C-alpha cells in the first residue's frame, strides 16, 4: 500500500497474516493508522472491542516501511535540489512515531537510482513475475523442510529448535552476530532475525568499532547539537571527518555536498582542530568503561530511534551509566520538567505524579537538576519505577554535585545519560541544548512548575516542534513560579493536566487505554473498629514497614497488630512488600 495514494480498507493487516505488509511512503499515512500497527506487531493479532463483543483477527506479519528523507524526496540525491526546510523534514519524519520505529530490527539505506542508469542497466530491474516465482519456490522449500512440525514459517520456529535444526550458513549470520554483540535487537527478536538473514541488501545500521571511536572523538571536539556537524554526517562518515581533522584524509571529504554552507563548515573545522588535544587515549576510554560508563551510537540496538527526529541536531553519540536499556526504557516514557526554585506545591504535585506514572509502567525522564527535576526522579524511585536523568554535564563530572547519591540511585534502576564527554563541566548554553533530548526521548512533556523565564519552557518548545504532546500543571494565580505554565496553556495550546491519569490520556497510543482505577476495598474504612483503624494508619503508603514497627506506632501488642494486618489485607486495604506491609493504591 502507498501512503497518500491507496485507500486503507478494514482487514488490510489481517490479509498480511503469515506474509509481509509493505507500506510505501510510510510518513504519508495517517498517524492513527501507523500507531494501530503496534498491536499486531506485539501480539500477532488485531483486537476490535465493541459493546458486548470482542473480536480477534490473526495478523502476524513482517512489516516493511519505505520512507523518503523529506517530502520532496530530493534530499538523498542532492541537498541543493531539496526545497524542504529542516523544520519541514523533521515534521515529516516525526509522523513515524518513535515507539513504532523501535520495533524495526533492520534498517537499510538506499541511494536514489537515476533514470539514465535505470534504463541503461537492465540487470538492476526484475519483473514482478520473477519475484513472485522466487517467493513460491521459497514457500515450497519451507513446506518440505517444516513438514511434520507444527510450524509453517521460519519466523515461527522457536529459537532453540532454530539453532539446533536449521542454523543458517556462517556467512549469512555474520552481520547478525555483530549486531548481537552490541546488544539484543528490538523486542528480543534475535531468533526471528536469524530465521531470515538479509542478503544483498546494503549495510545495516550498526556502528563498527572504527565508527564508534570516531563518534567518541567528535563528541570531544564539537559542541552538543552542532548543526554543521549534523549536516556533514548526512553525507560523510565520522571516520572521514576525524581523518580530515587529524590531517590524514582528503580535505574535500569534509566539505558539504553543495556550495551552500561551505563557509560555516570551514569555520567549524578550524574550531574543531583546535580541540584535537582533548580527544582521550584508548586507555582513558577503557577506564571509563570499567567505571560503568558505556557508549551508544546511532544504529545500535540500545539507541532510541526517536532521537532521529531531531534531524541535524540529533546527538552524535550518547554516554550512559545505568542498569536499564535506554531504548526499551523510552518506549513508554513521560518527561516531567520545571523550575529549580520550586515551591512546596510544585514539589508535592511532581512527586505524586511521577510516582503514579511509574506505578503504571511509565519511565520518568527529567534533567537531574534541583527542584522539580529532583522531585520527578525521587517520585519514580519511591514507586520502584524507572527514571532517566539527562545531564548537561559529563557523567563523571555529575552536575549538580549535590545529587551524587541521587544519580547513583537512578543508575541502579534506570539510566543517567549525557551527550557530553564524561569529564566535561556544564555550560550555560548547554542546559538549553540538553533540553531537546529530554523532549525527544519521551512520548510527551509535562511542565509542572515554571516561571516566565524558566529554562523548562525551552523543553516545552522542543516538544511542540517535535509534535509531541505538551502538558502543563496549573498553579495559584498569585505564584510567579506557575506563570510560565499558565502562559503555555493560554498561548501555546498546552493541555491542562492535574494528575497522572490525565497525562496518560494524551501519551497512550491508539488502542492502549490507561489503566482503570482499582476497585475499592471490600470493607470500607469507616466500618473498621478503632484498633484496626489505628493499625491501618500506621501502614505507609510507599516503601514498607514491619509488623513490630506498625504495632508500636498503633499502640497495640504484636499479636493484635498481626490479626489486624491479616484482616486489612483480606479486605483489600494493604498488601505485602519487600519491607513488610504497605497500603494499597486505590486510584
Write out pLDDT tens, residues 284-302: 888 898 899 999 988 887 8
SS3 sequence, 161-204?
Answer: HHHHHCCCCHHHHHHHHHHHHHCCCHHHCHHHHHHCCCCCCCCE
**Of the listed ranges 87-96, 336-345, 533-542, the one predicted with least confidence:** 87-96
Could you give the CA distance from residue 169 to residue 178 in angstroms, rounded to a whole number? Answer: 15
DSSP single-letter state for residue 298: T
Average pLDDT score over the chain: 80
Does the pTM surpass 0.85? The reply is no
pLDDT digits (tens, 9 = 90+) for 551-587: 999 999 988 998 898 888 877 788 888 788 888 866 5
Alpha-carbon span 377 to 436, nearest angstrom: 18
pLDDT at 242 over 70: yes
Q: How confident is the model at residue 198 (pLDDT cuts 50, 70, 90)?
A: very low
Q: Please check whether residue 206 is in contact with residue 182, taking contact to mean a CB–CB distance below 8 angstroms.
A: yes
Pick the closest to residue 172 from 146, 193, 152 (CA basis). Answer: 193
Lowest mean pLDDT, pick from 76-85, 152-161, 325-334 = 76-85
Q: Is the pLDDT of residue 187 over 80?
A: no
Q: Is the pLDDT of residue 538 over 60?
A: yes
Q: Burial code of 449-470, b = ≥16 C-beta within 10 A, e = fewer? A: bbbeebbbbbbbbbbbbbebbb
pLDDT for residue 195 is more than 50? no
Domains of the chain: 12-124 (no CATH), 128-195 (no CATH), 209-294 (no CATH), 317-507 (3.40.50.450), 525-583 (1.10.10.10)
Q: What are 250-287's pLDDT values in tens digits?
A: 555 555 544 445 788 888 888 888 888 888 888 888 88
- Asked if 565 contacts 554 with a C-beta cutoff of 8 angstroms, the reply is no
Q: So what's the pLDDT on residue 503? A: 93
Measured between alpha carbons, how far is 300 from 325 in angstroms, rounded to an integer?
A: 12
Q: Confidence band (pLDDT; 50, 70, 90) for 490? A: very high
Query: Predicted confidence band at 184 (pLDDT cuts at 50, 70, 90)?
Result: very low
Amino acid at each position: 500500500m502507498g501512503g497518500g495514494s491507496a485507500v486503507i480498507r478494514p482487514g488490510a493487516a489481517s490479509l498480511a497474516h503469515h506474509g509481509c505488509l509493505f507500506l510505501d511512503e510510510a510518513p504519508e499515512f495517517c498517524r492513527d493508522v501507523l500507531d494501530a500497527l503496534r498491536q499486531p506487531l506485539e501480539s500477532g493479532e488485531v483486537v476490535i472491542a465493541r459493546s458486548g463483543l470482542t473480536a480477534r483477527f490473526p495478523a502476524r506479519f513482517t512489516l516493511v516501511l519505505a520512507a523518503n528523507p523529506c517530502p520532496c524526496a530530493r534530499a538523498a540525491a542532492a541537498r541543493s535540489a531539496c526545497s524542504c526546510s529542516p523544520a519541514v523534514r523533521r515534521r515529516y519524519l516525526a509522523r513515524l512515531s518513535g515507539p513504532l520505529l523501535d520495533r524495526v530490527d533492520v534498517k537499510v539505506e538506499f541511494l536514489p537510482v537515476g533514470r539514465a542508469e535505470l534504463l541503461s542497466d537492465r540487470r538492476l530491474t526484475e519483473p514482478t513475475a520473477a519475484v513472485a516465482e522466487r517467493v513460491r519456490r521459497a514457500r515450497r522449500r519451507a513446506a518440505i523442510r517444516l513438514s511434520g512440525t507444527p510450524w509453517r514459517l521460519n519466523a515461527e520456529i522457536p529459537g532453540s529448535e532454530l539453532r539446533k535444526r536449521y542454523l543458517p550458513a556462517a556467512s549469512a549470520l555474520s552481520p547478525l552476530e555483530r549486531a548481537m554483540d552490541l546488544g539484543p535487537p528490538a523486542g528480543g527478536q534475535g531468533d526471528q532475525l536469524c530465521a531470515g538473514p538479509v542478503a544483498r541488501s546494503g549495510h545495516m545500521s550498526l556502528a563498527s568499532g572504527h565508527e564508534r571511536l570516531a563518534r567518541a572523538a567528535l563528541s570531544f571536539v564539537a559542541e552538543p547539537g552542532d548543526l554543521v556537524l549534523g549536516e556533514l554526517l548526512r553525507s560523510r562518515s565520522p571516520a572521514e571527518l576525524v581523518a580530515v581533522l587529524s590531517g590524514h584524509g582528503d580535505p574535500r571529504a569534509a566539505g558539504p555536498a553543495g556550495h551552500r554552507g561551505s563557509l560555516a563548515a570551514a569555520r567549524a573545522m578550524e574550531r574543531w582542530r583546535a580541540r584535537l588535544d582533548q580527544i582521550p587515549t584508548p586507555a582513558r576510554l577503557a577506564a571509563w568503561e570499567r567505571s560503568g560508563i558505556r557508549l551508544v551510537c546511532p544504529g545500535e540496538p540500545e539507541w532510541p530511534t526517536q532521537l532521529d527526529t531531531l534531524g541535524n541536531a540529533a546527538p552524535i553519540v550518547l554516554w550512559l551509566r545505568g542498569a536499564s536499556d535506554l531504548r526499551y526504557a523510552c518506549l513508554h516514557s513521560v518527561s516531567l520538567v520545571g523550575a529549580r526554585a520550586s515551591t512546596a506545591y510544585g514539589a508535592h504535585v511532581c512527586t505524586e505524579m511521577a510516582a503514579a506514572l511509574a506505578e503504571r509502567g511509565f519511565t520518568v525522564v527529567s534533567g537531574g537538576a534541583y527542584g522539580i527535576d529532583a522531585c520527578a526522579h525521587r517520585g519514580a524511585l519511591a514507586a520502584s519505577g524507572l527514571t532517566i536523568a539527562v545531564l548537561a554535564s559529563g557523567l563523571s563530572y555529575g552536575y549538580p554535585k549535590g545529587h551524587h547519591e541521587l544519580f547513583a540511585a537512578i543508575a541502579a534502576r534506570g539510566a543517567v545519560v549525557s551527550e557530553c564527554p564524561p569529564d566535561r563541566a556544564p555550560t550555560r548554553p548547554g542546559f538549553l541544548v540538553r533540553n531537546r533530548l529530554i523532549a525527544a526521548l519521551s512520548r510527551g512533556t509535562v511542565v509542572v512548575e515554571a516561571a516566565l523565564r524558566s529554562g523548562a519552557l525551552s523543553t516545552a518548545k522542543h516538544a511542540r516542534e517535535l509534535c509531541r504532546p505538551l502538558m502543563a500543571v496549573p498553579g495559584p494565580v498569585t505564584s510567579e513560579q506557575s506563570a510560565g505554565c499558565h502562559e503555555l496553556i493560554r498561548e501555546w495550546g498546552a493541555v491542562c493536566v492535574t494528575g497522572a491519569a490525565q497525562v496518560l490520556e494524551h501519551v497512550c497510543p491508539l488502542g492502549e487505554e490507561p489503566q482503570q482505577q482499582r476497585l475499592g476495598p471490600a470493607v470500607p474504612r469507616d466500618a473498621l473498629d478503632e484498633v484496626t483503624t489505628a493499625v491501618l494508619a500506621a501502614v505507609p503508603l510507599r516503601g514498607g514497614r514491619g509488623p513490630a514497627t506498625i504495632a508500636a506506632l498503633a499502640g497495640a501488642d504484636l499479636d493484635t497488630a498481626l490479626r489486624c494486618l491479616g484482616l486489612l489485607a483480606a479486605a483489600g486495604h494493604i498488601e505485602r512488600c519487600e519491607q513488610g506491609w504497605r497500603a494499597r493504591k486505590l486510584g
